[in-house]
Homo-oligomer: A and B are copies of this chain.
């Protein structure tokens, strides 16, 4: 049957075909001293797909990757779909037991791992999945390179644009990880949205600070490629590396969790670059202090919001130029809002327990609900969880927030992070923002501590900036001067904060510490 002249299934790997042709001789990917042109990288990915096929990987099979932000993992975002298989990019900070669990749940036939994770990979495979094949990328025991070299280019056609492209496992703080299923169409549209909204073009240079295993790097493996921009891989993500690349690699864009961003912009090496660097951040709203600092550095920040279930940032705090004239504190207040659906998204909702919209008054709290082409197909092999998360055609995010009169949503808290003190709801995020506005504070996490009288009380864990000092009393007074007094923390504990692999403060760990008090509390 000849191809249809008026239809082509949407797949994000199509952008690599286009970049390979249009930008063929330009540098596509830099990973340390290794670089590939677009034509070369496309050819490499096609041969990588050929190597997978040759190894017996069949359409629909799952291929797991355990790698840092390397060109191997970037290539796998194209090669695995081209082989017809489904990409399972693993969080690199999980244990061998976790890897083994995901290999079992996903039924992966092959685990490709970077040399630096050889021990974890070997352990995960050997113990419970002896039939899973294992390929090392890099190091003395490398097999990926030789298999690519020996293979012929291959591509399995995409018949159904809503067929599975990837499975992204959630971090599973409240139970076993869930496998979020992405399809080709969703990733294609989300990638286009990211390219458009972050203003990527063929002169952009994108630094891989955001883990590629995290929601498939918010679909930037395909968005950057759609724009014909350059990928700069970053295997070790720290402030020094970021500034080295900002200074020497012509970086124009990067995405970063707030912790990393804070670290980078307050680094002693931080300085203006004489060009606009566009940053996307999510996970916590940018503070006024951060905005001021970014303005000094000539950096432009976009606040995004999303979840693994929404291909990363389905929500954007779409910025209006008239807001640039407002005082910085006011700008920060506006930018703290998570915003509106991105250009390819459907309108957001904030709903009560019955699925009814709460008033758009910036005050009534409800759960943020999302639907559309950038919402997952469901949880892999977990229909119960899918039905629970999507009871009525709307995916429930588990995040509580409000709808402002202008249609922008603002998160108040994760449903499980809300603090109920003397019958009053306290959004931990609101308390955190108040504490964060203190100049001595670097980072903060506020959680519910048990209390006989009040049921729960807010307890703040605070990390200070280098050289800064402040007392518990001063923090509490600072908060009381800003928000309702009953929301102020009853206790402030100073010290470093426990983080997830993606840089989020682990509030469950903080809560556990308060319930079983150890030396830190």
Residues of chain A having any CB pair with chain B under 8 Å:
2-8, 10, 14-15, 17-18, 21-24, 26, 162, 183, 186, 192, 195-196, 199, 201-203, 226, 228, 318, 320-321, 340-341, 343-347, 370-373, 375-378, 390, 392-395, 406-407
With a cutoff of 8 Å between Cβ atoms, the chain B residues found around residue A344 in the complex are 192
CB closest chain-B residue, reference A9 = B373
With a cutoff of 8 Å between Cβ atoms, the chain B residues found around residue A203 in the complex are 321
Known A2-B392, A7-B373, A192-B344; 17 more pairs at CB < 8 Å: A3-B371, A3-B393, A3-B394, A4-B371, A5-B390, A5-B394, A6-B186, A6-B371, A8-B346, A15-B343, A17-B347, A18-B345, A21-B407, A24-B407, A192-B196, A202-B318, A203-B321
With a cutoff of 8 Å between Cβ atoms, the chain B residues found around residue A183 in the complex are 6
CB closest chain-B residue, reference A26 = B320
Complex CA gap A377/B4 in Å reads 10
CB closest chain-B residue, reference A339 = B22
CB closest chain-B residue, reference A193 = B192
Complex CA gap A5/B181 in Å reads 13
CB closest chain-B residue, reference A185 = B7
With a cutoff of 8 Å between Cβ atoms, the chain B residues found around residue A372 in the complex are 5-8
CB closest chain-B residue, reference A390 = B5
With a cutoff of 8 Å between Cβ atoms, the chain B residues found around residue A10 in the complex are 373
With beta carbons under 8 angstroms apart, the residue of B15, B22, B199, B321 that contacts A318 is B22
With beta carbons under 8 angstroms apart, the residue of B26, B340, B395 that contacts A5 is B395
With a cutoff of 8 Å between Cβ atoms, the chain B residues found around residue A228 in the complex are 318
With a cutoff of 8 Å between Cβ atoms, the chain B residues found around residue A370 in the complex are 5
Complex CA gap A8/B26 in Å reads 36
- CB of A343 within 8 A of CB of B8, answer no
With a cutoff of 8 Å between Cβ atoms, the chain B residues found around residue A5 in the complex are 370-372, 375, 390, 393-395
Please judge, given known A-B contacts A3-B393, A199-B199, whether A347 and B192 are in contact too, CB under 8 Å.
Answer: no
With beta carbons under 8 angstroms apart, the residue of B3, B21, B199, B375 that contacts A340 is B21
Complex CA gap A370/B201 in Å reads 24
Closest Cβ–Cβ distance, residue A40 to chain B (whole Å)? 15
With beta carbons under 8 angstroms apart, the residue of B7, B8, B162, B320 that contacts A202 is B320
Complex CA gap A88/B318 in Å reads 34
Closest Cβ–Cβ distance, residue A155 to chain B (whole Å)? 13
CB closest chain-B residue, reference A186 = B6
Closest Cβ–Cβ distance, residue A22 to chain B (whole Å)? 5
With a cutoff of 8 Å between Cβ atoms, the chain B residues found around residue A162 in the complex are 7
Please judge, given known A-B contacts A5-B393, A5-B394, whether A343 and B226 are in contact too, CB under 8 Å.
Answer: yes
Closest Cβ–Cβ distance, residue A224 to chain B (whole Å)? 13
- CB of B340 within 8 A of CB of A6, answer no
Please judge, given known A-B contacts A21-B347, A192-B196, A318-B22, whether A4 and B201 are in contact too, CB under 8 Å.
Answer: no
With a cutoff of 8 Å between Cβ atoms, the chain B residues found around residue A318 in the complex are 22, 202, 228
Please judge, given known A-B contacts A18-B343, A202-B318, whether A6 and B195 are in contact too, CB under 8 Å.
Answer: no
Complex CA gap A376/B6 in Å reads 6
With a cutoff of 8 Å between Cβ atoms, the chain B residues found around residue A345 in the complex are 18
CB closest chain-B residue, reference A228 = B318
Complex CA gap A373/B376 in Å reads 23
With a cutoff of 8 Å between Cβ atoms, the chain B residues found around residue A373 in the complex are 6-8, 10
- CB of A8 within 8 A of CB of B371, answer yes
Closest Cβ–Cβ distance, residue A230 to chain B (whole Å)? 12
Closest Cβ–Cβ distance, residue A354 to chain B (whole Å)? 14
With a cutoff of 8 Å between Cβ atoms, the chain B residues found around residue A375 in the complex are 5-6
- CB of B6 within 8 A of CB of A378, answer yes
Please judge, given known A-B contacts A7-B162, A192-B343, A406-B24, whether A201 and B202 are in contact too, CB under 8 Å.
Answer: no
- CB of A393 within 8 A of CB of B22, answer no
Complex CA gap A320/B419 in Å reads 54
CB closest chain-B residue, reference A192 = B192
With a cutoff of 8 Å between Cβ atoms, the chain B residues found around residue A393 in the complex are 2-5
